[in-house]
Structures are given as structure tokens and as C-alpha cells.
Amino acid sequence: MSLAPRAVLVHRRTELDELIARHGTRGQAAFFLSTRARSIEDAERRHTADAAAIHAVSSAIPLDWRRGVVERADLPRFLFAPDDVVVVVGQDGLVANIAKYLDGQPVIGINPDPGFNPGVLVAHPADAADALLRLAVSSRVDRHVEARVMVEAVLDDDQRLRALNEIFIGDASHQTSRYTITGPDQTAERQASSGVIVSTGTGATGWCRSAALERRSDLDLPAPTDHRLAWFVREAWPSPVTGTTVTEGALVQAQTLTITVESDHLVAFGDGMEADALTLGWGQTVHVSIADQRLRLVR
């Protein structure tokens, strides 16, 4: 007898939760915000909207299903099963946060506050959860899945890191990083820079686009489902031993961007999750390319 599906509800602490955890009481949190010309009522409104959406999703999970709940901070310690249905309640960034921990499970994005969250990845209202959960385990699900391309970094000791938006490789404190970069055409260059960003089409509206606009790049940025990545070197520094010519490009199909570390304690992290990073040492090599896995976003 097969097990019933498991719905895993993913959320994060609200701004109100974090304020009260920091200041101890609602009153003290309200006073802190008032000194900065802010009102606690805004945080309370968003907290109430989040709680209502979480309650609605929990109520929509069929009674015979198994269920799990995980908070964003606990994601590195949570084990997703192959047959899970993942329901993200929160901002778009929360979908990116979980993507690296999944391997083909369908993901449903629920937007608790459409007036505050853009809803690019969390596109659905809470009252759609019941229909979406049943769709996710039906034979029709593949027709309603948007397969978003991911990026992967592989170290020479076979450690791996995946991300939905982008992977950053550089100094943990964003100071000067030294390395040799080799592009997909095998052109190599020693560089000193603020690090390297390799972005998917999903991430092309964020950090990657900022880099492209700042340098007035003509590089065609990928769309979310394009099998293509864009990469940029941040603030490459010219010197007698470092260059600034291999600083942007695209990766398609099996092409790889290779970085060989020439300084201590560089890191590679994805989607802004600096606490869950790979540490890179002298002489270590990292290869960045399109990941085999896709984020399967139910629409």
C-alpha cells in the first residue's frame, strides 16, 4: 500500500516576529519603529495576512494526506521526500530559497499579500490551494508545470551547489577576490575583482540585471525557461598581473565557466543564502553551468 502524498508548507518568520524576538515585547518594538518614523501597524497587517494564508493552506490539505511544516531558517536541515508537494507561503524570494533543496518536486507558490509581494513565483491566492494541491498529484500536472532553469556550481572535490536566481563566487565580505577565470571559449585570465555572478533567467531581473545596466552591457539576458545563463565579473581591477577582458558572457547547453581560486577563503553561495555556502581554498577549481535539475513551478 503506497503512502498518501505529503504536503510540505514552507514559510518564514514575519517582520513582526523578528521585531518582537529582537525587542522583547510589542510595545518596545512599536517604540523602536516610531523612532524611525515607521508604524508597527504595517508589520502587523502583513503578519495577519501571512497567518491567514498559512491557515487557509493548512485547511486545504486533504485530511488523508501527510503534512509537514518548515521555516526558512530550518531548510538546510529539512529532508524533502521525492513525492512531496511543496507549498510556499510568502514572498517570491522564499521559492528561490527552497529550490536548491529540491529534486523535481512540484512547487505551489501562495502570495499572502498581493499588494506587497510582486507574485512572480508566488502567483496564487490562498483560496486556490485546494485545487492546486489536487492538481499537483494528478496525471495532468505536467501540463501545468513551468520548468525554471537552475544554475549549478561543482567543486573539484565534487561538492555541489544549486540556485534558482544566481550563484555568487568571491570573498565572503565582498572584498577583493583573486582567481583565474576561464570562459566557455577557453579564454583564460587572472583577475582581481569583487566576485563573479552567474545568473539564470529567473535571476536576470535582479542582481544580474543590475550588473548589466551598470556597465551598459549589450548581453542578451535569458528568460526564466531559457537553457542559457548569463555571467558577469563585478569590478574587475586592471593591474600588471590581472586583466579586465573576460568579464561577461553567456553559457548554453553544456558550456562551463571555470574559476581557479588564488586567494584564501572564497565562498560560493546561491540566491543570497550566505549562511549555506561552499568554502573555496587556494588552488581549488569550481565549474559553473546549467543544472540538470529544474524548479517545477505549478501554474
According to DSSP, residue 40 is labeled H
Please give the average per-residue pLDDT across 91-112, as a whole number: 94
What distances in angstroms separate CA 296 from CA 100, 103, 107, 143, 261, one per listed residue? 12, 9, 6, 11, 33
Angle at 173 between CA 170 and CA 178, to 5 degrees: 35
pLDDT, position 294: 94
Q: Are 119 and 92 in contact (CB under 8 A)?
A: yes
According to DSSP, residue 126 is labeled G
In this structure, of 11-15, 145-149, 273-277, 290-294, the range with the lowest mean pLDDT score is: 273-277
pLDDT, position 116: 86
Phi, psi of 190 (to 5 degrees): -80, 135
Residue 2 has pLDDT above 80, yes or no: no
pLDDT, position 248: 95
Q: In what order do the strands lie in the sheet with 196-199?
A: 248-252, 228-233, 196-199, 166-171, 266-270, 278-280
Angle at 154 between CA 151 and CA 159, to 5 degrees: 120
Residue with cell 510568502: 90
pLDDT, position 68: 96
State the DSSP H helix or E strand holding residue 290, giving kind and residue range, or none if neither. Answer: strand 285-298
Beta strands per DSSP E along the chain: 6-11, 66-71, 84-89, 106-110, 145-155, 160-163, 166-171, 177-182, 188-193, 196-199, 228-233, 248-252, 257-261, 266-270, 278-280, 285-298
Residue 219 binned pLDDT confidence (cut-offs 50, 70, 90): very high
Q: How do residues 9-30 score in pLDDT, each as one tens digit?
A: 999 999 999 999 999 999 999 9
CATH 2.60.200.30 positions along the chain are 150-292
Please give the average per-residue pLDDT across 169-176, as a whole number: 89
**Which residue type is seen at 127?**
D
State the DSSP H helix or E strand holding residue 146, giving kind and residue range, or none if neither. Answer: strand 145-155
- Contacts of residue 247, defined as CB under 8 A and 6 or more positions apart, other chains included, come to 232, 233, 236
Residue 86 binned pLDDT confidence (cut-offs 50, 70, 90): very high
The CATH number that domain 6-13+46-138 falls under is: 3.40.50.10330
Q: How do residues 261-282 score in pLDDT, each as one tens digit?
A: 998 889 999 988 888 889 999 9
Q: Are 116 and 74 in contact (CB under 8 A)?
A: no
CATH 3.40.50.10330 positions along the chain are 6-13+46-138
CA distance 218 to 177: 25
Q: Are 123 and 114 in contact (CB under 8 A)?
A: no
Lookup: cell for 2: 503506497
Please give the average per-residue pLDDT across 218-223, as a whole number: 92
pLDDT, position 272: 83
Terminal Cα-to-Cα distance of the chain (whole angstroms): 30
pLDDT, position 273: 84
Query: CATH top-level class for 150-292?
Result: mainly beta
